[in-house]
Chains A and B, each alone.
Chain A
Amino acid sequence: MSLLFLLLFNFVLAQEAHSAACCGGGFASPTVIAGDQASQLTLSYSYNSIAIDNVDSSGYWRTWDTHQSVQSYRLEGATILSDQLQAGIAIPIINRSRLNQSFSGLGDVSATLGYEYLPDWDYNPIRPKGIGFLQLTLPTGFSKYESEQGGLDSRGNGFFAIGLGTLLTKSYKSIDGFISLEAHRSFSKSVNTSMVTGKIEPGFGGNIGIGSGYSLKDWRLGGAITWTVEQPVNIVQASNTIAGAVERYATAALTVSLMTSDEWAETLSYTDQTWFGSPLNTSLGRGVALQVQRRWLR
């Protein structure tokens, strides 16, 4: 029981960090119950600092002496609707700052519907536990495309988006592992700023994550990597089209979790986007996060 529960943290935190370090973007991680609890409430705080300001289309890394930093608070709740059906919601608050400028506000609110299509009702050494999810993201966060501050005041994607994905988990004695797959489609919107006037047309994006952990009594040490890719976002104006570029990065996470009781657990994590992958058209960040979760058992 505890293994899968702690596993959830690793998955969530790895996913939570999978937005590009600067300028909003990324896709909110789904709020799913991976264990056997009836409901859960999670509060997390993260601090991320941009380590590499820009990786361009040719893969060149550029860094300045001063960087953006991003703090985020995220409140998530999830509950089962029936034995295998569940729903969740996530509400982030984002603060982005650089030098003496700082912007705060609501990020992209997301709602998730999950279904345990591969329940672990009996023992099988090979079969994983599988949860499929459908996620709807609302454009409550301000996007970088609309920003007149170079994306400093951006707090999310700024699009309606639908995502579909699955989380597969498996534990063997003290070792656990997971694989997550997700694909999403964002929908176009009009924009009218001093920078651009036209229609922003995003495309598809996706994430693949893998992770593993080792549990010792009430502690768990874990690691995960999530690869993210986003299709170019084009801006169609009256006179021309501004072509975007493919965005790509990988987020690595190291976590330490503690289950203080059946109802409470805490996780501390470190994430780094400079370790893996071949990033393109993005910024790379490093961060730490603390997460506290309260569970209600079935």
Chain B
Amino acid sequence: MRIFSLLAVLCSFWTMPMVLASPILNVNGKNLLDGKDVHLTSSQKIGLVVVFLSAKCPCSNSHIAEISTLASQFLDFSFLAVHSNSNEDEQMSKAYFESKKLPFPVIQDSASRLADLFKALKTPHAFVLNSKGDIVYQGGVSSSADFSKADKKYLRDALEDMRANRAVKVSNGRTLGCVIQRS
């Protein structure tokens, strides 16, 4: 009987990642770069891409160029970066993201509110929401900690599937990178 109880607990953990979050229709916060309020809705375009990034993590840094390229190639999607690491100084982080010249806002998530809402684990951690606010993809940007060595580009493939009105083939990708230090 005890073995079955243990199995039941383990199975409940197993199904947890399969239960997607409730629809997220709005994402808002303060822009780290200019201090202004940012408010994006998932219904504005085909979908909304939210990527959790770090100012220090090498894995996050190696994917910045790809994310910027995706933002310029997939103009029918809204893009948003979120900075949730509590152990990264705000001034230092601002200087870092300014130097990267990202074509989308970076929300400073000091209280880890957005990290907890999305259940973001590491940096980079990407989420793609459809126009209804459902998360259709969550996981790594690619299959490698170093983008230049990746053989699979999960985020790009998910966006292409959505643009072609197909179901996203890979809805969960392994996140590789540095664990988000929550406040």
Interface residues of chain A, those whose CB is within 8 Å of chain B, are 1, 3, 36, 83, 117-124, 126-128, 130, 171, 173, 262, 297-298
A127 to B125 alpha-carbon distance, docked (Å): 18
From residue A33, how far is it (CB to closest CB) to chain B in Å? 12
Q: Are B172 and A130 in contact (CB under 8 A)?
A: no
Report the contact-size class of chain B (Cβ under 8 Å from the partner): 20 to 34
B16 interfacial contact with A, CB 8 Å: yes
- List residues of chain A with CB within 8 A of the CB of B176: 1, 36, 297-298
- Which of these, B10, B115, B119, B174, contacts A36 with CB under 8 Å? B174
Q: Are A1 and B122 in contact (CB under 8 A)?
A: yes
- List residues of chain B with CB within 8 A of the CB of A117: 10, 14
Q: A121-B17, A121-B173, A122-B138 are in contact. Are A130 and B120 (CB under 8 A)?
A: no
Q: Are A118 and B119 in contact (CB under 8 A)?
A: no
- Which of these, B17, B59, B138, B146, contacts A119 with CB under 8 Å? B17
B47 interfacial contact with A, CB 8 Å: no
What 0/1 pattern do residues 8 to 47 of B give for CB contact below 8 A with A? 0010011011000000000000000000000000000000
B53 interfacial contact with A, CB 8 Å: no
- List residues of chain B with CB within 8 A of the CB of A1: 59, 122, 145, 176-179
- List residues of chain A with CB within 8 A of the CB of B182: 173
A91 to B57 alpha-carbon distance, docked (Å): 36
- Which of these, A118, A121, A128, contacts B175 with CB under 8 Å? A121
- Which of these, A83, A119, A122, A297, contacts B119 with CB under 8 Å? A122
A128 to B178 alpha-carbon distance, docked (Å): 17
Please, which residue of chain A has its CB at the minimum distance from the CB of B146?
A297
Q: Are A297 and B121 in contact (CB under 8 A)?
A: no
- List residues of chain B with CB within 8 A of the CB of A83: 174
Please, which residue of chain A has its CB at the minimum distance from the CB of B86?
A173
- Which of these, A118, A121, A173, A298, contacts B143 with CB under 8 Å? A298
A69 to B13 alpha-carbon distance, docked (Å): 44
A123 to B16 alpha-carbon distance, docked (Å): 10
A interface SS class: loop
Q: A1-B122, A36-B176 are in contact. Are A297 and B145 (CB under 8 A)?
A: yes
B108 interfacial contact with A, CB 8 Å: no
Q: Are A123 and B17 in contact (CB under 8 A)?
A: no
Which chain B residues in 144-183 approach chain A with CB under 8 Å?
A: 144-146, 172-182
From residue A186, how far is it (CB to closest CB) to chain B in Å? 22
Please list 23 pairs of residues, one from A and one from B, whose beta carbons are closer than 8 Å in the complex, sorted by A's number: A1-B59, A1-B122, A1-B176, A1-B178, A36-B174, A83-B174, A118-B10, A118-B14, A121-B121, A121-B139, A121-B174, A121-B175, A122-B138, A123-B120, A123-B121, A123-B180, A124-B16, A124-B119, A127-B13, A171-B179, A262-B145, A297-B145, A298-B174
Which chain B residues in 113-138 approach chain A with CB under 8 Å?
A: 115-116, 118-122, 125, 138
Q: Are A127 and B16 in contact (CB under 8 A)?
A: yes
Please, which residue of chain A has its CB at the minimum distance from the CB of B122?
A1
A120 to B16 alpha-carbon distance, docked (Å): 10
Q: Are B115 and A123 in contact (CB under 8 A)?
A: yes
- List residues of chain A with CB within 8 A of the CB of B125: 122
Please, which residue of chain B has its CB at the minimum distance from the CB of A168?
B10
Q: Are B145 and A130 in contact (CB under 8 A)?
A: no
A277 to B20 alpha-carbon distance, docked (Å): 44
From residue B93, how far is it (CB to closest CB) to chain A in Å? 19
A226 to B20 alpha-carbon distance, docked (Å): 37
- List residues of chain A with CB within 8 A of the CB of B122: 1
From residue A24, how far is it (CB to closest CB) to chain B in Å? 31
Q: Are A298 and B121 in contact (CB under 8 A)?
A: no
Q: Are B120 and A298 in contact (CB under 8 A)?
A: no
A186 to B107 alpha-carbon distance, docked (Å): 57
